[in-house]
């Protein structure tokens, strides 16, 4: 029996987030340059997006490029940006066919103009799709996101738009990049690394974490199904006891 057959479709995570790690190591194993891994990693993105749509998961967020990634060698960053443009142009058909809406979070103004133009174009063309919201985290860093939210809220308090006594979780949520997204239910990281790497720190407060040794270019639909089956075996208590849930 495949993992897909074991999935309880009435208990799907509504929001899956993935740290797509291992492209460089995958390429090195093939005796190739890092970009070969990044290029093949885009195939895993397509498979994962299709699998999520087929299952009925409503939100998928992919960590595509972090604020720290700008510190990588200049040539690699430039090539990644070119690959992003190419992928957006190529994937528009897949998004439309599967009724998927593209979204993006992060310090998007830091992206090159060509990337931002292509990104906004695909976002606009898919804005009426409603089967899945696919969010790309680009030039994204969770600490930067939280700092930005604090600054915005502070300005509003200073200008008497918000009372400091009224600041709660919902107010903070409204000032994050993810203000229109639900909290993450399942966070997946590939490649065997077991850390969060400044990704959605606020939003994963009660997410189930799943780490796999599979390198991202090898990540298949079956690997995603395995992660979901694992998720469904866990008891999500949100601070309560098992007895309270029962």
User: Helices 34-55 and 74-97 sit at what angle, rounded to 10 degrees?
Assistant: 20
Per-residue H/E/C for 31-94:
CCCHHHHHHHHHHHHHHHHHHHHHHCCCEEEEEEEEHHHHHCCHHHHHHHHHHHHHHHHHHHHH
- The sign one gets for the Cα dihedral 10, 59, 216, 123 is positive
The pLDDT, as a whole number, for residue 10 is 95
Q: Where are the domains of the chain?
A: 13-140+184-234
pTM (predicted TM-score): 0.95
CA within 13 Å, CB half, 108: 15
Radius of gyration of the chain (CA): 19
Q: Is 183 a catalytic residue?
A: no
What's the pLDDT band for 243 if we cut at 50, 70, 90? low
- The sign one gets for the Cα dihedral 178, 188, 13, 49 is positive
pLDDT in tens, 68-91: 999 999 989 999 999 999 999 999
CATH number for domain 13-140+184-234, candidates 3.30.2270.10, 3.40.50.410, 3.40.1180.10, 3.30.2130.30: 3.40.1180.10
Long-range contacts of 33-36 (CB under 8 A, 24+ apart): 34/76, 35/76, 35/79, 35/80, 35/83
pLDDT cut 90: percent of the chain above it: 92
CA distances from 161 to 95, 153, 158 (A): 39, 9, 8
Q: What's the rounded Cα separation, in Å, for the pair 204 and 71?
A: 25
CB atoms within 10 A of CB 209: 14
pLDDT in tens, 20-48: 999 999 999 999 999 999 999 999 999 99
CA distances from 199 to 62, 101, 226 (A): 10, 21, 22
Name the catalytic one among 8, 40, 69, 98: 69
Name the catalytic one among 8, 11, 21, 246: 21
What's the pLDDT band for 107 if we cut at 50, 70, 90? very high
pLDDT of 198 over the 80 cut: yes
Long-range contacts of 235-238 (CB under 8 A, 24+ apart): 236/206, 236/208, 238/206
From the list 86, 76, 68, 208, the residue with the least C-alpha distance to 139 is 68
What's the pLDDT band for 246 if we cut at 50, 70, 90? low
Q: What is the DSSP letter of 182?
A: P
What's the pLDDT band for 50 if we cut at 50, 70, 90? very high
Q: What's the rounded Cα separation, in Å, for the pair 138 and 111?
A: 8
Q: Is 69 a catalytic residue?
A: yes
**Between 1 and 81, the higher pLDDT residue:** 81
pLDDT in tens, 123-175: 999 999 999 999 999 999 999 999 999 999 999 999 999 999 999 999 999 99
- The length of the chain is 246
């Amino acid at each position: 029996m495949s993992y897909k057959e074991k999935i309880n479709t009435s208990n799907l995570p509504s929001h899956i987030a993935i740290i797509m790690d291992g492209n460089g190591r995958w390429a090195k194993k093939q005796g190739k340059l890092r970009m070969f891994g990044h290029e093949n990693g885009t195939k895993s993105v397509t498979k994962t997006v299709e699998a999520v749509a087929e299952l009925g998961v409503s939100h998928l967020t992919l960590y595509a490029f972090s604020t720290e990634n700008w510190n990588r060698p200049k040539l690699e960053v430039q090539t990644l940006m070119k690959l992003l443009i190419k992928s957006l142009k190529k994937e528009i058909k897949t998004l439309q066919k599967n009724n998927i809406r593209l979204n993006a979070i992060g310090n998007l103004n830091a992206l090159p103009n060509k990337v931002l133009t292509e990104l906004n174009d695909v976002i606009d063309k898919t804005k009426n799709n409603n089967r899945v919201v696919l969010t790309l985290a680009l030039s994204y860093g969770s600490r930067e996101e939280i700092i930005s939210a604090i600054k915005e809220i502070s300005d509003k308090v200073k200008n008497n738009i918000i009372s400091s006594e009224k600041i709660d979780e919902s107010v903070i949520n409204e000032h994050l990049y993810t203000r229109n997204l639900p909290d993450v239910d399942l966070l997946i990281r590939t490649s065997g690394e077991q850390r969060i790497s400044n990704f959605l720190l606020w939003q994963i407060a009660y997410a189930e974490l799943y780490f796999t040794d599979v390198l991202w270019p090898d990540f298949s639909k079956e690997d995603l199904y395995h992660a979901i089956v694992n998720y469904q075996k866990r008891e999500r208590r949100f601070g309560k006891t098992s007895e309270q849930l029962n």
